[in-house]
């Protein structure tokens, strides 16, 4: 049984211990990790976003909520991964939040859902420079490179990063995908990204579509 109200309140208050306790109880009671995400953590973060947007919450409070959210995501990670267990070698996806952008909650969620979907993810973190993407592509030979951005200002960085990687010949045979709240399908097409997803579950479907992996 999932205490959605209590969980929402705990995320809003940035109460990490309570988030941990509620999720541990829910998981032990057999509540699925996707249900916990969709009915508990994500709606709570949505409220945080709205309150931040209307200046009802300070950045410091948002950060506390973000940390509580991280605790929740870390707890769900093993259960999400178990749901996505698949035999055989996994296609590699490189993911990162572009240079100048420190938002990582959404990207972390995409990482977890992709792993749950049977893909191997190399997560480069936030504020990722073009050079860091380039090195990771050389090191890991990914099937897909995914860029995340949450700021309208850093959307431009997505275009610059893809342009430069392309100029260096590093995207030959590699699919690209972008996402993040301000990003649209149209923008993706404008900067020549192969794929776009508006949310984490959508990202799994989009990577699979790009790689020609049929739905289960
Ligand atoms: Co920031 N922030 N923030 N912030 N912050 C936003 C994005 C903002 C919309 C808030 C607002 O004004 N209403 C606004 C951007 C405005 C704009 O550009 N148009 C904003 C701003 C302005 C800023 C600062 C500039 C504030 C300041 O300092 N004055 C500053 C910038 C710092 C920087 O990056 N250089 C800043 C800082 C921060 C915190 C550090 C306090 C914190 C980030 C903590 C962290 O991530 N570790 C923070 C937060 C938490 C937010 C909000 C409240 C929540 C973002 C979030 O985590 N959402 C946000 C308001 C909002 O979104 N309503 C806001 C939950 C998450 C699950 O959703 O990230 O959209 P999302 O990810 C989704 C999809 O977008 C998609 O799937 C995810 C899961 O479903 N997706 C992909 C994401 N990446 C993808 C990649 C893919 C595919 C799908 O393929 C590769």
Nearest of 100, 73, 27, 91 to residue 200 by alpha carbon: 73
pLDDT tens per residue across all 216 residues of the chain? 789 999 999 999 999 999 999 999 999 999 999 889 888 887 887 788 778 778 898 877 877 887 888 888 889 888 887 776 444 578 999 999 999 999 998 898 888 778 766 789 999 999 999 999 999 999 999 999 999 999 999 999 999 999 999 999 999 999 999 999 999 999 999 999 999 999 877 888 899 999 998 765
How is residue 25 written in tokens?
């109880």
- Does ligand 1 lie within 6 Å of residue 180's CB atom? yes
Q: Among the atoms of ligand 1, which is closest to the Cα of residue 70?
A: 47
| pTM for the full predicted model | 0.81
Q: From ligand 1's centre to the CA of 47, what distance in Å?
A: 13
CA distance 47 to 151: 18
Q: From ligand 1's centre to the CA of 191, what distance in Å?
A: 21
Nearest of 165, 215, 200, 181 to residue 77 by alpha carbon: 200
How is residue 185 written in tokens?
């399908």
Radius of gyration of the chain (CA): 17
């Amino acid at each position: 049984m999932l205490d959605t109200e209590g969980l929402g309140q705990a995320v809003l208050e940035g109460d990490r211990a309570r988030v941990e306790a509620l999720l541990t109880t829910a998981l032990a009671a057999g509540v699925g990790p996707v249900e916990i995400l969709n009915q508990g953590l994500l709606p709570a973060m949505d409220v945080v976003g709205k309150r931040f947007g209307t200046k009802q919450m300070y950045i410091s409070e948002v950060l506390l909520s973000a940390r509580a959210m991280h605790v929740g995501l870390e707890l769900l990670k093993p259960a999400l991964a178990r749901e996505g267990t698949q035999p055989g070698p996994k296609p590699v996806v490189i993911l990162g939040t572009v240079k100048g952008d420190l938002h990582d909650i959404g990207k972390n969620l995409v990482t977890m859902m992709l792993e749950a979907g049977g893909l191997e993810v190399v997560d480069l973190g936030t504020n990722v420079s073009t050079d860091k993407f380039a090195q990771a592509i050389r090191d890991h030979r990914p099937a897909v490179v995914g860029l995340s951005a949450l700021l309208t200002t850093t959307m431009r960085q997505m275009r610059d990063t893809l342009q430069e990687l392309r100029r260096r010949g590093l995207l030959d045979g590699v699919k690209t995908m972008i996402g993040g709240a301000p990003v649209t399908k149209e923008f993706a097409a404008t900067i020549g990204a192969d794929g776009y997803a508006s949310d984490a579950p959508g990202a799994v479907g989009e990577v699979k579509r790009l790689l020609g992996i049929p739905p289960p």
